[in-house]
């Protein structure tokens, strides 16, 4: 690939370039550790979250953006925090819906050369250097996941979350794929996986496909109420929280 025409330019040397001097590896590991600590301390008190995933490329006025905005509003009405990747597009729509309704709106951002500036509807925001740190935190604090139309990044987040649920690494949290027409080809692929035996029929039950905001939120609310005890955290000032 011509490195001068990359869609996403590399951030200096790529850290997955193979063995490097031990000192550099130690510095990298320390930076990762400190970013995790920063994330834990920042997000410890945001309250129980529902994470909304989706493309950064659909803007205000687009039906996907406006549905995300409705979803953010209804998440706040449930008493939950709306968590997103903190960027524009669908992420902004969900944050905006929560923010305008007086709810807590959190963005877990990533440093990119383009399209990932923080949106203006965040009550709390944090930015990381590495995608894997961001993905861990988007899952760690959430009781449910809503996936609106998106591209490679959204698919990555969807399938990683589903894999964690399937393998019992995290609980069977509700997962909603919002946009039946957009996700029809993906649903067909998932059905074919079950037919061919690479997943089980029960795995298909992990996902709700819908176009109805009320159906999505009722599905999440009833599942959380029936299955989980939501815990709130309190500040310990002797830990400088």
Q: How many Cβ atoms from other residues are within 10 Å of residue 209's Cβ?
A: 16
Q: Low-confidence residues of the chain, pLDDT below 50? A: 1-3
Two tokens, residue 204: 């298909």
Residues sharing a CB contact under 8 Å with residue 229, sequence separation 6 or more, in sequence order: none
Two tokens, residue 18: 């193979």
Name the CA radius of gyration of the chain, rounded.
19
Residue 177: strand pairing partners: 147, 209
pLDDT in the model for residue 118: 83
Two tokens, residue 217: 């939120």
Two tokens, residue 101: 């309704």
| CATH number 3.20.19.10 given to 49-226 | no
Tell me the C-alpha distance between 144 and 135, whole Å.
14
Confirm if 85 and 118 have CB atoms less than 8 A apart: no
DSSP labels, 102-120: T--EEEEEE--SSS-PPPS
What beta strand segments (E) does 54-104 contain? 81-84
Give the domain ranges of the chain. Answer: 49-226
Residues sharing a CB contact under 8 Å with residue 177, sequence separation 6 or more, in sequence order: 147, 158, 183, 186, 187, 207, 208, 209, 210
| Residue of 141, 188, 180 lying closest to 161 (CA atoms) | 141
């Amino acid at each position: 690939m011509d490195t001068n025409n990359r869609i996403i330019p590399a951030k200096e040397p790529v850290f997955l370039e193979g063995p490097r001097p031990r000192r550099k590896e130690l510095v990298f590991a320390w930076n990762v550790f400190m970013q995790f600590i920063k994330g834990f301390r920042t997000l410890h008190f945001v309250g129980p979250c529902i994470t909304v995933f989706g493309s950064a490329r659909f803007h205000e006025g687009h039906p996907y953006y406006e549905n995300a905005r409705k979803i953010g509003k209804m998440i706040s009405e449930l008493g939950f925090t709306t968590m997103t990747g903190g960027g524009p597009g669908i992420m902004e729509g969900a944050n905006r819906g929560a923010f305008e309704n007086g709810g807590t709106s959190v963005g877990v951002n990533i440093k990119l050369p383009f399209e990932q500036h923080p949106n203006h509807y965040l009550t709390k925001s944090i930015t990381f250097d590495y995608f894997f740190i961001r993905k861990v935190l988007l899952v760690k604090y959430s009781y449910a996941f809503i996936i609106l139309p998106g591209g490679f990044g959204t698919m990555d987040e969807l399938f990683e979350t589903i894999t964690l649920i399937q393998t019992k690494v995290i609980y069977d949290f509700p997962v909603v794929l919002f946009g039946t027409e957009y996700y029809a080809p993906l649903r067909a692929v998932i059905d074919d996986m079950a037919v061919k035996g690479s997943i089980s029929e029960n795995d298909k039950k992990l996902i709700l496909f819908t176009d109805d905001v009320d159906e999505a939120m009722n599905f999440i609310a009833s599942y959380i109420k029936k299955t989980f005890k939501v815990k709130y955290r309190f500040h310990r000032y002797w830990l400088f929280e």
